[in-house]
Amino acid sequence: MAQGTFGQAKVIGPAAGLMGALPPGVTARFDLLDYGRRMLSLDVSRPALAQGNNAEIDIGLLVDSAGTPPDWDLAAMELTGQKQCFVLLIPTQLSQTNVSGVAALVQTSPGTSAVALAAAMRDVDASVQRVAAQPKVVPVDPPDWPGLSSAIQSLVSVDRQRAALNFLAQQTDARLTENVTLTADPSVLAQLAAAVVEAMKNSPQARDRASVGWVLEWTTLQLLMRIENGGKLPPELAAVLAVYAGEVGRNPATLEQVARGVRDSQDLKNRLAEENFNFLDDSSPAARMRAYDWLASRGLAPAGYDPLGSPVDRRKALDAAEESADQGAPPQTTTNISP
């Protein structure tokens, strides 16, 4: 490997390796994680009945479905008082890299220091406590997660980003992400794909359609806000944002205020509806018309309100709608607007 026989290599673990004691009855597990997802696990176990320096060491290997399980038997090896060394070459792929395989170099030798043994027993105690605190029911991924996960991994490939984002948006009902995906240029698309990958890495609990959809929508909205604040939002994306957020989407300061501290998708929808309702009292007829159309398309426009009506009539309709909302009545809508 050092001579490059297997191609370019790089150490991804500590240069000095991970060292520790392995008392009888203990299994040490080494995990390789890729964006929080376990790609492979190597288990090194010493049977509980092991005595002295002569002991059988059991080796276990778990490879994620993205990798290729090896064909050899890893059942056991004998530790007979001498240093033992072996290497496992595991074909697997890691996101955003050209890695095609991982090598695990394992060395075992008899005897250990009191410090290493004490550290090993502390690790055992901590492991026991973690297991005791876990729920009795083993969590199971939703049935649609494998497809979503595969699409998320595809986002690292430039030629697959648009298709992967569109698939994710359609599967999770993330309309803002879908519209941006269909209209954005390759530069914005690449930014969105990278932002989604990072957001999913930071959201390990997002594994069903609803939670993944919220990550997509929120990430897309944040990206559009950043571009808009920089004064470089293309007209086609400005139109997408206006369709999504109504008159709020045309006002960066208001949109930023609405988005501050949002908890989930429903919270964002409520805030957008509230701010568009406030725009019904704006001095600009165009702003009132756009806010009214957005509310009406969602069944939230106040009954009897005409965005081009007199100030007195508009105020009367808005007061009636606010009074109805205070009493907990559902919104009443109308489609009668001035030509």
For 254-295, the DSSP string reads HHHHHHTT--SHHHHHHHHHHHHHHGGG-S-HHHHHHHHHHH
- Percent of the chain past pLDDT 90, that is, above it, reads 43
The CB density around residue 137, as the number of other CB atoms within 10 Å, is 6
Query: Is pLDDT above 60 for 339?
Result: no
Strand order in the sheet with 54-63: 26-34, 37-46, 54-63, 76-80
List pLDDT tens digits, range 163-197: 999 999 999 999 999 999 999 999 999 999 999 99
Query: Is pLDDT above 80 for 111?
Result: no
Query: Is pLDDT above 70 for 217?
Result: yes
Which letter does DSSP use for residue 155 in this model?
Answer: T
pLDDT at 130: 85
pLDDT at 15: 63
Question: Using CA atoms, how far apart are residues 85 and 336, in angstroms rounded to an integer?
Answer: 82
Residue 122, both tokens: 């502390």
pLDDT at 106: 80
pTM value surpassing 0.85: no
**pLDDT category of residue 98 using cuts at 50, 70 and 90:** confident
pLDDT at 275: 94
> Average model confidence (pLDDT) for the chain?
82
List pLDDT tens digits, range 234-287: 999 999 999 999 999 999 999 999 999 898 999 999 999 999 999 999 999 999
